[in-house]
Structure formats: structure tokens, C-alpha cells
Amino acid sequence: MDNSLGASRVSLVVRHIRAQNRIFWRVPIGAFFALFLPVMMLVLFVALFGSDTYTTEYGEVSRAQFYTPALAVFAVASATFTNLAINLSIRRDEGILRRVRGTPLPPWIYLAGVIGSAVYMALLGTVAVVTLGVVAYGVNIELTKLPAMLVALVLGATAFATWGVALAALTRTAAAAPAVANAVILPLAFVSNVFVSFEGEAPAWLLLVGDTFPLRHFVISFGEAMSPFSEAPAFLPERLGVLVAWTVVGALVALRKFRWEPAVGASSARGRRGNSR
């Protein structure tokens, strides 16, 4: 291969992840939704519902024990799925992806930078929520189940990052991306044990919807690994399998549908310049 050109691929990927991280911190809105909002929700939900208990798939637990893994997963979904869908379609509409294709930088390296940064932010969000839960609310965390937490986290983040790219590929313009992403993730969160748990009480079709999509499997896999009742190593292979299956489908959609060029008429005012003088 043509490795003689410029820096090595690995160092270019690292460089682009760091650049995207820098951009992330300079745009407060992404940081708010991916990092601050889940932490704030954990504080609010625990304050509102106090020391009630919840019946979950993994037993009778405190509110904090229920919400900590759920909101950690929600942070991951925001940082990967929502942010990638929005950021990639903005970068396409603004012609950044187009510019990249005119340089010797392999376009996948630019994508890897954006995706890598999103995954990094997802990890930060998880650490923030879990740390708060453990330190402030005495949420259970066990060393022997840490591998199960990590595996659920990696597979879940991969699935949602893949679908973030896929959604950007399916969305025509950046203007539509935030609405579409939120219209997908918010209703899904309600049937996926993120905000409420409804084991047994919910209509069967709602459970079916929840079980069809990956979010609920992600929440339960991660929650099982943090549950005080589960047995180490606390892996849930079937649910993890669903995450992998969704990743495969998302990757196929992304590979087939991803566009580098802005849709006709999608370029912003900053793109095609007017002739005003």
C-alpha cells in the first residue's frame, strides 16, 4: 500500500479523533445531551422517586440501581446514535466530506475520527453516570462482573454508532437528522427500561416492540452486569447476540447507502455562495 504518503494511518486516525474531540467540546450542545443530561436525569430521578424500589428483570432494586445502568446506556445512545446521525449529516451538507474526498486522506479515516470521538464520549458519559451512581447512591458494582459490563458497553456502543452512521446515510439533509434521530431514540427509550420499568404490567405488543430493537437488550445486559442479584460473570448471550445482529444490519445499510456528497439543494448558506455584493 501507499504508506509512503504522509503520516501513518494509525496516527492519522488518532489525529482525527483528537480533532473531533476538540470540536465536540467547543460545541456545548452535543456535550449537554451526551454527558450532562444523563447525569442530571439520574440526580433528578433519584431525588423525585427517593428510595422506592423497582421490580426489574434482575430483581427488586433501588431506584438508583435501576436508573444508573439505564441512564449510562442512554448516554451511550445519545453520544453515538443521535450525535453521529446529526454530525455526519451536517458534515455532509456543509461539504466537509466532499472536501476530504479531494485530499489524499482516505475518507474512512475521517469517518473513523468522527466515530471514534463519539465512542470516546459515550465512554465518558458512562463513566460519569456510573461513578455518580456508585459514589452518591451506593449502586452495586462488582469486579467479577466488570467484563460483562465492558462487553455489553462495547457491543452496545458499536450497534448504536453503526446505526448513527446508517441513519445519517438514510437522512437526506442535516435539517431532518435531529428530528429523525430523536423520533427514533426517545419513544424507544420508553419501551426499553430507560425511564420506566414495566416488566409484567405492560401490554405484550409494547414488550414486543422493546424486544425487537436493540436498546432494551443493551439496557438489560448492562443492568444485569451491575445487578446485586446476578451471578458472575453475568453475561446475557442472547441479548448480546441481538446487539451484534443489529450491528451487522446497520453496517450493511451504512455501507450501501452512505453518501459523501450533499443532496441537491441541501448545501447551507455557507456552502454555495450567493452573488450579493
Partner 1 sequence: MTTAIRVRGLTKSYGDLRAVDGVSFDVVEGEVLAILGPNGAGKTTTVEILEGHRTRDGGDVSVLGTDPGRGGRPFRDRIGIVLQAAGVDRELSTREALELYGAAYSTPRSIDELIELVELTDKADDRIVSLSGGQRRRVDLALGLIGNPELIFLDEPTTGFDPRARRRSWDVISNLTSLGRTIVLTTHYLDEAEYLADRVAVMAKGRIVADGTPAELRRSVQSDTKIAFDLPRLDEPLVELFDPLIGQGRGRGHRVEFLTPAPTADLAHVTSWAMQRGIELDGLTVESADLEDVYLSLVGEDEDSEDSGRADG
Cell reading at 81: 446514535
In the complex, minimum distance from the CB of residue 105 to partner 1, in angstroms, rounded to a whole number: 4
Out of 57, 94, 142, 211, which residue is the one contacting partner 1 (CB under 8 A)? 94
**Is residue 258 a contact point for partner 1 (CB under 8 A)?**
no
Task: Give the nearer residue to partner 1 in terms of CB position, either 131 or 173.
Answer: 173
Of positions 12, 43, 207, 263, contacts partner 1 by CB under 8 A: 12
Q: Find the shortest distance in angstroms from Cβ 93 to partner 1.
A: 8
Nearer to partner 1, 143 or 264 (CB): 264
* Stretch of 33-41, 160-168, 212-220, 264-272 contacting partner 1, by CB under 8 A: 264-272
Strand duo 53-56 + 59-62: pairing: antiparallel
Assign residue 258 a region: left if phi > 0, alpha if psi is -120 to 50, beta otherwise? Answer: beta
**Comparison of 20 and 83: residue with beta carbon closer to partner 1:** 20
- In the complex, what is the shortest distance from the CB of residue 155 to partner 1, in angstroms, rounded to a whole number? 30
Q: Burial level of 23, CB count in 10 A (0-12/13-18/19+)?
A: middle
**Should residue 99 be labelled a site residue for partner 1 when binding is judged by CB under 8 A?**
yes
Residue 23 sits in the site that holds partner 1 (CB under 8 A)? yes
- Supply 215's cell numbers: 436498546
Q: Cα–Cα distances in Å, from 264 out to 107, 147, 259? A: 21, 47, 12
* CA 94/CA 244 separation, integer angstroms: 32
> Does residue 2 belong to the site contacting partner 1 (CB under 8 A)?
yes
Total number of residues shown for the chain: 277
CA distances from 13 to 108, 114, 163, 164 (A): 9, 9, 21, 19
| Cα–Cα distance for residue pair 77/84, rounded to 1 Å | 10
| Distance in Å, CB of 126 to partner 1, minimum | 24
* Cβ(63)–Cβ(54) below 8 Å: yes
Q: Which residues bind partner 1 (CB under 8 A)?
A: 2, 4-7, 11-12, 15-16, 19-20, 22-23, 26-27, 91, 94-96, 98-99, 101-106, 109, 262, 267-268, 270-277
